[in-house]
Chain A
Amino acid sequence: MENSKQFVHKGVVYSITTLLLIPILATFIYSLSSSWGATILPDGFTFKWYSSLLTDPRFLDAFGRSLFICIASLLLATLLVLPMIFVVFYYYPKLDKVMNLLILLPFAVPPVVSSVGLLQLYANSSFQLVGTPWILIGTYFTIALPFMYRAIANSFTAINLKDLIDAAHLLGATTTKAFLLIILPNLKKGLLASLFLSFSFLLGEFVFANILVGTRYETLQIYLYNMRQTSGHFTSALVMTYFAFIFLSTWLASRLTRGNNQ
């Protein structure tokens, strides 16, 4: 009885996993096959799609741009959000409720709508912002904000902030020192988790990138979109490379966050 039950459970889990893996596996095989037309199995295997992708300077440039924008917006978010949450939690704990409403705003407006609004807002500004990476960094900051705020705020509630800072003050530490030496190390886990989550989310962002900047600053997703007319094998290789990268960073994230949990 117990065994047959477990058999059913395992069966469900394995079949769902297989179902989810099929498209990834198919894409992977397609990206490795020389041609795969009217036959059940591909005609032959080759690495040429990967080699042509990884030697394409346009791809490498787009990848670099995407990395730059993501890292820059996350850096901006970290620098702004960390001290802000500290101020909210330590000096004005009542503001947490306001913040929780505020961080929901980016979700309330769909990207297509808000990008049009941003275009109108910045199209006629005295300095050129639309079409540059800077507007994208600013926009991505608002997308990353909810993830960052929630995760870091959770870490803040998990520690006894007031008593810890008070104890540090009485032992001679300034508020800045107390923040850097005591509070920050305890936020590491939440911060890293939110950074990696936002990173993989931002790397795959297409709508804002396409409308606000488009081909003038080709990011990875725009490149993928522009390459849709070329060989399917090539785009499959592109998708698999992207997927592998996200997988790697997620794995790294779980490794790092686990490392903190001594």
Chain B
Amino acid sequence: MSAETWIEALRGSPFYAGQIAHIHRVPARAPVLAADDDLPGPLRTALDAADERPLYSHQFDFMHLVRSRRGGVLATGVDTGKSSSLRLAAAAAMLGRDGCALILCPTRSSCLDHAVQLEALLGRAGLGDVTMGAMHGEMPAATRRRLREEGRLVITTPDMVHAGLMPQHARWQRFLSRLELLLIDDLHAYGGMFGAGMGNLVRRLLRVAGRYGARPSVHGACGPVANPAELMEELTGRPAQLIDQSGAPSGPRTFVLWNPPIIRSTRRKARRGALIEAAAIMARLITAGAPTITFSKAKISAELIARYCNEELGDAASRGSRSVEAYRAGYLLPERRAIEQRLLDGSIAGISSTPALEEGIRTGSPAASVLVGYPGTLTAFLQQAGRAGRSDGEGLCVLVGLETPANQYIMRHPEYLFGRPLETAGVDPHNPFVVMGHLRCAAHEMPVEQGEMGLFGPHAVTAMEVLEAQGKVRRIGQTWYHATSETPQHEFGLRSMDGADVPIQDRDTGQVIGHLNEYDAQPLIHEGAVYMQHGDTYLVDHLDLGRKTCTVHREEVDYYTQPSGGTDVNHIDHVLRRKAMGSGECVWGEVTAHFDTTHYSRIPFRSLDAVSTHAVFTPTMWLETMAVWFVAPEPLLAEVRRSGLDVMHGLRGIGYATRMLLPLFVRCDTADLSHTVGCSNSPWQAVFIYERLPRGLGYSQAAYERIHEVLPAVYEAVRKCNCRAGCPLCVGKPLRRFTTWNVERGEGSVPDKRASLAILKGLLADHVAAPQIDTERMTENRESVRLSLEREIKRRLERQREPKLPHAVEFGDQLERPEPPSPGALTSPDASARARTRTGFDRELVRRLRRSGAAEPHAELPGTRLETPTERVETPPQTPDPTPARPALIAGDGLASLARLRARRKPDAPAQETKETAP
């Protein structure tokens, strides 16, 4: 079996229409084995009993590093036996008389996986009497007590350590005082807010263990990121030695970029659906003899692919062991284990999964993987692609491009995937907001000495002082004590997405068939929705988000449901930072957003068209989160409006394009973000990019910091797009997952690309792709930085207070734009720079219009925009014109060209842009 035959099989299939956009081959790599491993005898015996090869060179190095008790990280790429190295190290620690070890994994399923494999390893090594196990929330109290009282090897998630072990560490005294080894698996999973929390948790854990007299050494295994050692050091606060020379072999790998064919001449949904395409590829590969795993982003799409693929493969009897199972979060654990087992023993040929499980899934190595859509980061891409291919065989990865700007960009520029350094994992454990919560926990666990404050970073003392002022802690001498009867560990979790689970109960059998997070529950299992599990359809009878219950019943229907709803920023709570950006300004702060599911459509399988639409009545979900927004100057917009372009269209287009391109700059996914224009206490023209996760994950802050790189790239991407007036690949439509359109605001039609370009160009003012310092921060000395930090932390504390909503909205004047400055009145260099750029823009615009024959851009205005009868009429605030000596050309010509346009408007314009077909 080789990748060539599989690719030929795909090429030869009836649905092939030149979809393969690019093929990239990575040659095989030979193994480098350790010359002689000096493993302790029992472990060698255990490995021999399992018929395992000698250690690879990097595994040998890692065992040496662990024995030397210097901290280190193993980062040798995907599928090089990193996890098994961790297990060997843990087993080696068990050879001592009473040393203990703790393994931390980001997901519960990978904990259980480690536990199963370690039990076998210890059994083979003659250490079967060592008490060990995975600790999780659902384990019986007696088992947990046994683990606490005599366990020597505990495998658990950081969340469990945070909320379960640390609040009662005195009961774990025996374990903690003998802790020799702390092992952290899948380090790359600890990014953003989760990583910041993790960093503080590790420091807390090491501090408490140190008080009990233990000095554990810390080791980790890290997936593909650019800076594993730095990440390890950030997470543990200790120096880490890096092992990145892999000795593991790898078969040849083939990557195929697969762009679905264009089958319609419409502006959107022009290409064939990626799910159908993926299911067809999967079925073809399975028929050609390659077990396949498919990753798609949403739970429903994982189900749909499994179902479509099974249909392609024929009915149950004829496909035999070639069938496909869906596998996603929400399935119960034993079920997931059973599915994995069936793939391992070959009774099914494929799994259709969601990427949430990429770390925890244990499938052996299917020969091929199909990725529906670029996962957002190169790390995740390599991690998912690396699920396919045995170390001694061929591996194939097919990336199916979605019809989004980022995906289509990658289809056109494969070098983005294969010629680019990995992403840097950014973690800031000293983030004052994160530190504040963990300081409370630390004080609760053991009083914090002044000398220990360095552990928690430069903001710790300020944060502690705020906490003391709030009565949460109390300082006596040089020590800080916890001073309330609260248990802070139970007040916040490590991950910010911590909604409660809603169990889904089958009405007929009374069994709970799955769980969903409450944020997912609202759009997916509202009344009337079709809930899919194993490709079977269940109709939802009832959802009660207050009591967290949901009942469904099994009914075979021939459609699935697609929820529609809206999400929008309701108001700004608090501005955290702001800076000038080009001729406007850019702000980062806390906002309150909401999302509703208002109706859903029934869509027959294998079709994209709704047959009927129904209303949904569920309560609004409120979301306190972070956002970055930029405000274009009013005169600029007035200018754009005067030239006959629709400003609202332009702003929405910028928001869309920015959101879709942000994943190329920030470690995030477009689905984590939303965009909107204006809210109740912002300037009307503010373009918001906000995070869809409670209290945010730091994406918006990173976007704020890199906005000077992002916006020029957005401008370039929009400008270079092949379309003439805007298309879904650049300014697009609001392709949010659950969307309703406010037709009055021009939503629902494709925004005008030229308006976006004009606004962006004026905003960037030709030369402002340089980083700007926050004007607020510029003048600050050390003391005022501390004061503003104190103010921000207090604000955050207030925000965490219950009840969270509703609360009063502050309509402060801090967001109002200042009067457009007249050049004579400007004193500060910043404001004069703005004025210069503004006049510069005016001059440039005039020059551009003259050069292009002035009337030409207006002639291409899309007719559809003017036909919309309910189009909002912009009544711009009358602002004094900063440059009164404006040529009359623009104002006069705008109206004239509008009249010309009306005269020759066509009833139905065909698609104007020429779609680029894949090479």
Are A and B part of the same complex?
A: no
